Amino acid sequence: MTDPTARPSASIELVSFGFLHLDTDSQGRPVLPLADRIEDVRDRLRDPAAARTILDLDGHDLCVQDVVLATPDARELLDNLTDYATGPAGPHRIAVGCAGGKHRACALINLLAQRLADRHVPTTVKHLHAHLPRILKD
């Protein structure tokens, strides 16, 4: 008999994206990636690109990950996402979005992937916009 509380062995897809890079629908609303849970960190976590030393880096860089983790509420969010991902039902896909998808979202997804790997939870990671140039606002 199968344990109903056991975590499924299927891989969880982790997706980072930038809201400013998304296509829009006919009403001008962003077309979000499909996910069981989408975290919008634009207002929740300050933009680490204000730290001039990381402007040209992305969330794959450990320096960017350190800056993001030093942001108030970042560790709490990462803990919450980890708990969610390792719950008995387990999601199929988690997406995290920030303005451009280069710093906060990319770093958080990479950090979450590492935490889940440490817990032997299979994951796949997609960064939709981390490779794109930083968006400069007028």
Q: Which pTM value belongs to this model?
A: 0.89
Kindly state the helix (H) or strand (E) to which residue 63 belongs, with its residue range: helix 62-69
What is the 3-state secondary structure of 69-135?
HCCCCHHHHHHHHHHHHCCCCCCCEEEEEECCCCCHHHHHHHHHHHHHHHCCCCEEEEECCCCCCCC
Quote the pLDDT of residue 52. Answer: 80
Question: Which residues of the chain register pLDDT less than 70?
Answer: 1-9, 136-138
Quote the pLDDT of residue 3. Answer: 41
Quote the pLDDT of residue 73. Answer: 95
- Tokens 């975590």 belong to residue: 7
Quote the pLDDT of residue 86. Answer: 94
